Amino acid sequence: MNSPSKIGICDVRFFPAKGSKKAIVFLPSANDKGIHPYFPRLSWHNELSQQVNVLYINDPFQHLDGYKTPMGSWYVSPIGEFVLPEVSSSIQSFLFENGIDEVIYYGSSMGGYASLILASLHPDSHAIAECPQLFMLKHPGSRYVSENILSKDRAIDSIEPLAYLKNSNHASINIVCSLHDYHYKTHVVPFADIISSLDHSIGEIDFTIYSKPSYKTGHVALNKIDAFSIIAKTMKF
C-alpha cells in the first residue's frame, strides 16, 4: 500500500517491512502548503521500512475551508466532534490485521499532540512527541479550533493529552523539545509540573530537552539524524 489509501476517515500511506512486527506511525503537523493529503517526513520510509513497517496518517479535515486559519484540525471535525478515538480504533484494527504488535506514534507540534493521545489509547504502544501542543488554548491554531470549531458541549481540556494520559496506566512517551522553542515554557514545563503533582502514576514519561547550535531558535522539528536516533532507541533496533 505505497500509494494513497484509506484507514477509516484518514488518508494513509503504508510501507511494509517483510517479517517485521514493529511499526512507526507518523502524524502530520499543521501546514499552509496547500498539500493534501499531507504526509510530512514521507521520504524517511526509504530507510525505516528496511527494518520496520511505516504508516503515515493525514489530518482528514486540514484541507477544508474552515481550517485555513488554524492550518490544521487537531482532529476536530467540521461539526465539532473530536475524532481521534475513532482514528485510534481504525489504526489499531489495521495494525492487528497486519500482524503488528509494537508501535511508535511519532509527530511534531500538532502531530506530537496526536501521538500522545493515540499512544494513551493504544495499550503497550509508545509516543515520540516533538514540541507538542499540550494545552489547547496556548497555541494559536489549537486555540482557534477549540474556540471556533469544537462543540460547545465539549470541554476544551477534555481533548488535551493530559485528559487521556490520566486514564492510561500503560503510556510510554517521550516528549522532545528545544529549550529555545516557546513550547518549552508554555507547554512542557507546566505539563511536567502537573505530572509531578499527581498522586498516581500515568505511565512512563521521558523528557528530552535539548539545545544545539545546529537548530534555529523557535518551533523547529528534529532533523532526520537526531530523530532516527530517538526512534532506534525507543524501538530497539
Mean pLDDT of 105-121: 97
Distance CA 96, CA 144 (A): 35
pLDDT of 170 reads: 75
Q: pLDDT grade, residue 169 (50/70/90)?
A: low
Above 70 in pLDDT, residue 103? yes
Above 90 in pLDDT, residue 237? no
pLDDT of 33 reads: 85
Q: C-alpha 7: how far from its chain's center? A: 16
Task: Enter the C-alpha cell of residue 187.
Answer: 507547554
Residues whose CB is less than 8 angstroms from the CB of residue 112 and which lie 6 or more positions away in sequence, other chains included: 27, 129, 130, 131, 132, 133, 175
Contact 131, 176 (CB under 8 A): yes
Tens-place pLDDT, residues 3-43: 559 999 999 999 999 999 999 999 999 998 888 999 999 99
pLDDT of 154 reads: 97
Task: Enter the C-alpha cell of residue 10.
Answer: 484518514
Tens-place pLDDT, residues 84-101: 999 999 999 999 999 999
Domain regions of the chain by residue span: 5-235
98-92-63-31 Cα dihedral, nearest 10 degrees: -90
Distance CA 3, CA 100 (A): 20
Q: What is the mean pLDDT of the chain?
A: 94
pTM: 0.95
Mean pLDDT of 47-71: 96
Above 80 in pLDDT, residue 171? no
pLDDT of 201 reads: 72
**CATH code assigned to 5-235:** 3.40.50.1820
16-86-139-187 Cα dihedral, nearest 10 degrees: -80
